[in-house]
Amino acid sequence: AKGKDVARVVRQAVVLAGGLEKIINPQSRVLIKPNLSVALPAKTGVTTDPRVVLALVHLAREAGAKEIMVGESAVVGFDAGEIFEALKIRGLCEKAGAKVVNLDQDQAVEIKVPQGEVLQKLKVWRTAYESDVLISVAKMKTHFQTGVTLSLKNMKGTVPDESKRLIHRIGIPLKKREEYGLERAIVDLNTVISADLAVIDATVSLEGFVPGPRLVGNPVRMDTILAGYDPVAVDAVGCRVIGLNPAEVRHIRLAYERKLGR
């Protein structure tokens, strides 16, 4: 869906996807997981626009959710609580009736990865793992390592720093690193925790060589929201929107080949 009225466009995209009523019931504990990994505003193209998050909070409430949470875990070495305050997310979400969860202060649980190719086990944040409905709200961004960082890679914010390092294969000697280890680890992660609804915020997207919080690419206004129940398909469409072939984006292709698409 496309347009300048963010709340309307989010609603339109979610309705076109099939609506939240399909995945939310009166007993549902819903976690909305944006990309707020660093303290940079949405206009930079780096973080999810708060208006998109708030629109999803309202839609989840309309669908009858028992509890609505907005949670994030920052990049390694940062704390999501500080980012919530810097971007004024906490007050906005709480006013809308959502509980804000700093996953960096959450309890971690260790789980097995039965279908893992490079990960056999990892720790995940309990709130994310035990939520009934997980809504990913990724930002439309390119990435220097994985080509793009969209719904599949957004799940990295559901794990603590220890697991983030493991996913990035940090600390593993170069000689022992698997071919495409990062991309395969992202897919492994999504075999045990993945979005029930994948939303991509392309109100302002980010293009360029983007390796981290201090080196920012070029923001591009697109006024677009993507949504769907299948994170692999949504990410594939996201690639097409910005002119990339998803079959050439390794982690998306691997996710498809491992039949993570729905």
Answer whether residue 262 is part of any domain. Answer: no
* pTM recorded for the entire structure: 0.95
Answer whether residue 178 is part of any domain. Answer: yes
Domain total in the chain: 1
Answer whether residue 46 is part of any domain. Answer: yes
For the stretch 13-30, what's the b/e string if a residue is b when 16 or more beta carbons lie within 10 angstroms of its beta carbon?
A: bbeebeebeebbeeebbb
Answer whether residue 41 is part of any domain. Answer: yes
Question: Interior CA angle at 247 toward 52 and 33, to 5°?
Answer: 25
Answer whether residue 1 is part of any domain. Answer: no
Which residues lie closer than 8 Å to 12 by C-beta, 6 or more apart?
Answer: 1, 3, 225
| Domain harbouring 102, CATH code | 3.40.50.11440
Enclosing domain of residue 134: 6-257
**Could you read off the pLDDT tens digit of each residue along the chain, which spans 262 residues?**
999 999 999 999 999 999 999 999 999 999 999 999 889 999 999 999 999 999 999 999 999 999 999 999 998 888 999 999 999 999 999 999 999 999 999 999 999 999 999 999 999 999 999 999 999 999 999 988 888 999 999 999 999 999 999 998 887 877 778 888 999 999 999 999 999 999 999 999 999 865 555 556 899 999 999 999 999 999 999 999 999 999 999 999 999 999 998 7
